[in-house]
């Protein structure tokens, strides 16, 4: 696991998540303060690179509609399709990044980051156990700062992997 991580300003993060606009809706609306590299998009979903990744190639997957609760707000068909997108993005990440395990999790609440989204991250092989699981995923332990070129390259490789898998269409 990369050791060169940048510290995160947690008070600023909390203020932004609790008081700012929904970051997913702002991104989808093209707000200049919320840019992301898109990996996959269809009529109902978007997958994009995390701006503050804790692991290389970390992707967020979300419904385009501002949905806040995965169980109550999605019918069976919509839930199944979202889970298919999550699975296919996770498999594409595994095609691009070596992984001992691929983490998939959804956080957020009515108090912050309310828009339903899934985090998908590949744990590189050989990471010591005490640096795995939530330790590897929490921004409090620092974030990576890939260059714009590295981010664009990662997004391109992931888009290609999704397309080559052929399950989600284009």
The Cα 23–Cα 94 span in angstroms is 26
Q: Which residues contact 29 (CB under 8 A, 6 or more apart)?
A: none
| Among 85-94, 111-120, 151-160, the least confident range | 111-120
- Is the pLDDT at 1 greater than 70? The verdict is no
The confidence band for 3, taking pLDDT boundaries of 50, 70 and 90, is: low
Q: How confident is the prediction for the chain on average, in pLDDT?
A: 91
- The per-residue pLDDT for range 107-126, each reduced to its tens digit, is 888 888 899 999 999 999 99
- Within the chain, where are the H helices? 10-19, 23-28, 76-96, 134-137, 148-165
Each domain of the chain, given as residue ranges in start order, spans 10-164
- The per-residue pLDDT for range 28-61, each reduced to its tens digit, is 999 998 989 999 999 999 999 999 999 999 999 9
Tell me the β-bridge partners of 118: 61
> What CATH number was assigned to the domain covering residues 10-164?
3.30.428.10
Q: What is the pLDDT of residue 111?
A: 87
């Amino acid at each position: 696991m990369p050791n060169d991580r940048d510290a995160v300003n947690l008070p600023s993060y909390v203020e932004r998540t609790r008081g700012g606009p929904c970051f997913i809706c702002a991104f989808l609306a093209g707000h200049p303060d919320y840019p992301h590299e898109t990996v996959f998009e269809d009529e109902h979903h978007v997958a994009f690179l995390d701006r503050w990744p804790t692991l290389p190639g970390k992707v967020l997957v979300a419904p385009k509609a501002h949905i806040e609760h995965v169980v109550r707000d999605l019918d069976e068909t919509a839930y199944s399709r979202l889970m298919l997108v999550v699975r296919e993005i996770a498999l594409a990440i595994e095609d691009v990044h070596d992984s001992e395990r691929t983490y998939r999790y959804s956080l957020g609440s009515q108090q912050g980051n309310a828009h339903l989204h899934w985090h998908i991250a590949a744990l590189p092989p050989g990471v010591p156990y005490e640096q795995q699981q939530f330790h590897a995923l929490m921004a409090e332990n620092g974030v990576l700062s890939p260059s714009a070129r590295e981010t664009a390259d990662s997004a391109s490789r992931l888009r290609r992997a999704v397309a080559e898998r052929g399950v989600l269409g284009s």
